[in-house]
Every structure is written in C-alpha cells, then in structure tokens.
C-alpha cells in the first residue's frame, strides 16, 4: 500500500479533528499506510475530545511503520507547547510550515508516496512572518516547481485554474496565452494522474458568452483561443473556449473530463455547489502527489467535535489512487 504523509495543519482549526476521524475509518487503513506529521500534544487532545479508541505511535521515519488498527502513526515535530483554539496565531502558523517542510523532505526522498495537507490559515502564516498565501505557492517554491496549477475534484466535476489567489480585478490582465497553454498541458497531466485514457479537456471563456466575438471582451480572441490552437498543435485533446455559464453543465453530464478555468471562483463555485463536503484540492505539476480537503480551518466550529471529515477522507483516498 502507498505510504501517505498527512500534515496536521493549523492546530487551532479542525485539522487535528478531521485527521483523527478519518484515520479511525477502516476504509482508509485498507487503502493506504498513513503517517501524520504534527504535534503529539495537539493530536492527543483531539483524540481525547472525540473519545475515539485511538492511540498515537511516535516514529522518526515512515520506514519504521508498524502501526495497526487503532493506532495513529505520528512524526512529532514538537513545535507547539500551548495553543489558542479557534483563532489565528503566529506560533501555529510557524508550526504549519514545519510540518509541510518535513512532508516535502519525505516526499522528495521517496520515503512517502504522497502528501495530504490539513487546512492552514493565511492570516496565521502572515502573523508568523511567512510570505506565502497558502499551500500551493509554498509547495511550488519548496520544490522549485515553475509550472503548477490547482485542480479541484468533486462529484462529477474536475476543474483546473489558470489564476489562483488574486483579486478579481487583476484577473483580465493575468490571462495570457502562455499561462492558458501551460494550464491546458497541466490539465492533460492531471488526466494522466487520474488514469483517464482519452481525456476531453474544455476551456472556459473569461467573459460572458466567451466574449461573443469580442463584443464583451477581447481576452478570448487575443489570448485564450491562440493558447487552445497552440495546444492542439501539440496534440492536446482540447476544445473551447466555451461560455462559462454552460461548460460546467456539460462537464456535470459527463461530456467533459476537466474544465480549464480562468480564475478561482469560476471553478470553485460550481464544484462546491455539488460537492461542498467532498471536494479535494490537488496541486498538479509537483514532483510528488499532493492533495488536501477543499475547505479552510473552520475556526468557528473547531474543537467542538462536530467537524465533518468527508473532504479529508476523499483527499486521502484520492492521494492513494493518483499516479505520477
């Protein structure tokens, strides 16, 4: 079975809880061999809160794994001594980066087959003096990855984004042929990882009606269409650009395997509409598999024992299924 490293995420959020709940499921134990990277005191408190019949087994390396049912294998980073629940904190932000650094080290050294990252807080990262906006940018820099993209998987939909965390007003000027082409190529890579044999890649337009021949905007004719034509010359099975208000319905019906989206909410709104609790984020382009739940730290419900682990479960299952 694949060895999957799971980073604990922000201690103040729901990460420790959803990890404990997910690893209590026999389905996960039958699918992969998980190891958590985090802090012992936090995970022990989460297990006590949930009153689950689980015990931690501290290890220094995934190679030493002998964990069985009822055991959570943990690499104890030991960064957190005392933490505040339900709010961003500099200490928690710093600890999150330590967990991720360790996971990247293990993945690059082939000690694990993939990593699953529990939610972190952009505000906590900023409080800790970190420059990254989130996991995607951090992992790309730590692995010196230049071409990467965020893919979201949920229900019948798969979407991959040309731009990620940026203001809406900045998007049009960021839509360039090179970026759209790169994302189409990464969409094909994503389909290979998912073992989709004859992928159907569709590109969404930026503007209403995909620009309507330039009436509602010229990004399609100046940047998006040239990128699609170049991708076709490279043998990519891609079509578009399609009006954004119709392309997701076609994907939902099974006519399209993955949609290349121009900006964050263009892809995430339809996906979360149909798979809010089961969505999974995948970083495509890294030298290893990385997935995460498609939700945040949920400070408002953290440490109350009520967090839904469905997205974490799906993230672990998808990490075990994907191929590089």
Confidence category of residue 132, pLDDT binned at 50, 70, 90: confident
Tell whether the model's pLDDT for residue 166 goes beyond 70: yes
- 55 touches 70 (CB < 8 A): yes
Give the helix ranges, DSSP H, for 128-263.
135-142, 171-174, 177-193, 219, 225-233, 244-252
1-145+287-324 CATH pick, 3.40.718.10, 3.40.190.150, 3.30.1440.10, 3.40.630.10: 3.40.718.10
Residue 163: CB partners within 8 Å, gap ≥ 6? 170, 171, 174, 175, 179, 262, 263, 264
pLDDT tens string 209-237: 987 777 788 999 999 999 999 999 999 99
Is the pTM value of this prediction over 0.85?
Answer: yes
pLDDT of residue 211: 75
Residues of the chain with CATH 3.40.718.10: 1-145+287-324, 148-285
pLDDT of residue 67: 62
pLDDT tens string 238-249: 999 999 999 999
CA triplet 156, 257, 30: central angle to 5 degrees? 60
Strand-strand pairing, 114-117 and 55-58: unpaired
Task: Please give the CATH number for the structural domain made up of 148-285.
Answer: 3.40.718.10
């Amino acid at each position: 079975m694949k060895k999957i490293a799971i980073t604990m995420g922000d201690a103040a959020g729901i990460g420790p809880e959803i990890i404990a709940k997910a690893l209590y499921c026999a389905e996960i134990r039958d699918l992969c061999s998980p190891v958590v990277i985090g802090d012992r005191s936090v995970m022990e408190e989460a297990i006590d809160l949930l009153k689950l019949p689980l015990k931690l087994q501290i290890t220094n390396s995934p190679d030493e794994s002998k964990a069985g049912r009822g055991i959570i294998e943990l690499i104890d980073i030991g960064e957190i001594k005392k933490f505040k629940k339900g709010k961003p904190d500099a200490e928690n932000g710093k600890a999150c980066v330590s967990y991720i650094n360790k996971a990247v080290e293990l993945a690059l050294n082939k000690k694990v087959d993939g990593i699953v990252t529990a939610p972190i807080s952009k505000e906590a990262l900023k409080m800790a003096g970190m420059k990254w906006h989130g996991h995607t940018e951090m992992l790309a820099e730590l692995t010196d990855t230049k071409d990467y993209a965020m893919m979201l998987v949920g229900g019948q939909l798969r979407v991959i984004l040309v731009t990620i965390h940026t203001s809406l007003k900045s998007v049009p000027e960021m839509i360039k042929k090179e970026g759209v082409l790169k994302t189409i190529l990464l969409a094909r890579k994503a389909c290979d990882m998912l073992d989709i044999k004859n992928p159907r890649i569709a590109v969404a337009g930026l503007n209403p009606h995909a620009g309507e021949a330039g009436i509602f905007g010229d990004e399609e004719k100046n940047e998006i269409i040239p990128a699609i034509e170049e991708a076709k010359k490279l043998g990519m099975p891609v079509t578009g650009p399609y009006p954004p208000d119709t392309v997701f319905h076609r994907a939902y019906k099974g006519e399209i395997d993955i949609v290349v989206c121009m900006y964050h909410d263009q892809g995430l709104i339809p996906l979360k509409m149909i798979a809010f609790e089961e969505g999974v984020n995948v970083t495509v382009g890294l030298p290893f598999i990385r997935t995460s739940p498609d939700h945040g730290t949920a400070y408002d419900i953290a440490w109350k024992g009520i967090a839904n682990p469905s997205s974490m479960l799906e993230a672990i299952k998808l990490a075990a299924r994907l191929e590089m």
